[in-house]
Amino acid sequence: MTARDLRASDADRDRVITVLTDAAADGRLTQEEFSDRLSTACSARTLGELAGLTSDLAESPVVHLDAGRVVAGIFNPARREGRWVVPESLTVTAVRSTVVVDFREALLRSSRVKVFAHAVAGQIHFYIPDGIRVEVTGRAFLGSKSVGRNYGAAALQAGPDTPVISVQALILGGKLVVHTPPKARRRLRRPFSRG
């Protein structure tokens, strides 16, 4: 199954409808074009059906279908964020730059994603949503790896069906930071006392 064949969510349709509405309000779409595209967006079942509706209206795609298997920042920063389809294997490279890969709105095609992360005097930042376990292996020479709270004991408590992003890192004088959602804080209730 290709990324184009993945089922579209209500949120995907809403994003496209927002872009279409803004384009019609700006005069970039005629009323007929707007009606046709709106009708298609409302009835779209797959991401592929939605992708073509805004390709001539938005600077970056509303949904990145063919985002590629490589995110590289070589002397220039690079980002992969928003709604995008994550391949089963992804290579992320930062050479004297900062690379950000945000999985919070991404669609995982597989329950286990393998990420090869290479930072040479650069920084790689991964943003992970709730409900995804992170495993980090590899080495850091004159650099560091920092992983948020869903790593370790908390991650081991996740069920066997929990999606996993497995990161194999090689850090040379750089930094890998995995940002995970903070743990929910419990509020301590104090007993009410009448004075």
The per-residue pLDDT string of the chain (195 residues; one tens digit each, 9 = 90 and over) reads 677 778 888 888 888 888 888 888 888 888 888 888 888 888 888 888 888 888 888 766 676 666 568 899 989 999 998 888 888 899 999 999 999 999 998 888 888 999 999 999 999 999 999 889 899 999 988 888 887 765 544 445 556 778 999 999 999 999 999 998 776 555 555 555 555
Residue 6: partners with Cβ closer than 8 Å, 6 or more residues away: 46, 47, 85, 107, 109
Final residue of a structural domain among 63, 85, 103: 63
Residues 51 and 76 both lie in one domain: no
Residue length of the chain = 195
* Contact between residue 77 and residue 103 where contact means Cβ atoms under 8 Å apart: no
Residue 153 confidence (pLDDT):
43
Residues 9 and 57 both lie in one domain: yes
pTM above 0.75, yes or no: no
Instruction: Count the domains in the chain.
Output: 2
Residues 58 and 102 both lie in one domain: no
Residues 49 and 71 both lie in one domain: no
Residues 136 and 48 both lie in one domain: no
What does the alpha-carbon distance between residue 153 and residue 137 come to, in Å, rounded to a whole number?
16
Residue 13 confidence (pLDDT):
85
* Contact between residue 126 and residue 179 where contact means Cβ atoms under 8 Å apart: yes
Residues 75 and 126 both lie in one domain: yes
What does the alpha-carbon distance between residue 95 and residue 75 come to, in Å, rounded to a whole number?
6
SS3 71: strand
Residues 102 and 30 both lie in one domain: no
| b/e burial code for range 79-91 (CB count within 10 A of at least 16 → b) | ebebbbbbbeebe
Reading phi first (left if > 0) and then psi (alpha if -120 to 50, else beta), residue 155 is in alpha
**192 in a structural domain:** no
Residues 129 and 48 both lie in one domain: no
Residues 38 and 88 both lie in one domain: no
What does the alpha-carbon distance between residue 134 and residue 136 come to, in Å, rounded to a whole number?
6
Residue 27 confidence (pLDDT):
84
Residue 149 confidence (pLDDT):
61
Residues 84 and 173 both lie in one domain: yes
**163 in a structural domain:** yes
Residues 136 and 76 both lie in one domain: yes
Neighbour count for residue 99 (Cβ, 10 Å) = 25
Distance of CA 154 to the CA centre of its chain: 21
**188 in a structural domain:** no
**191 in a structural domain:** no
Residues 149 and 85 both lie in one domain: yes
**193 in a structural domain:** no
**134 in a structural domain:** yes
Which of 42, 160, 150 has the alpha carbon at shortest distance from 103? 150
**189 in a structural domain:** no
- Where in the sequence is the domain holding 174, given as residue range(s)? 67-179
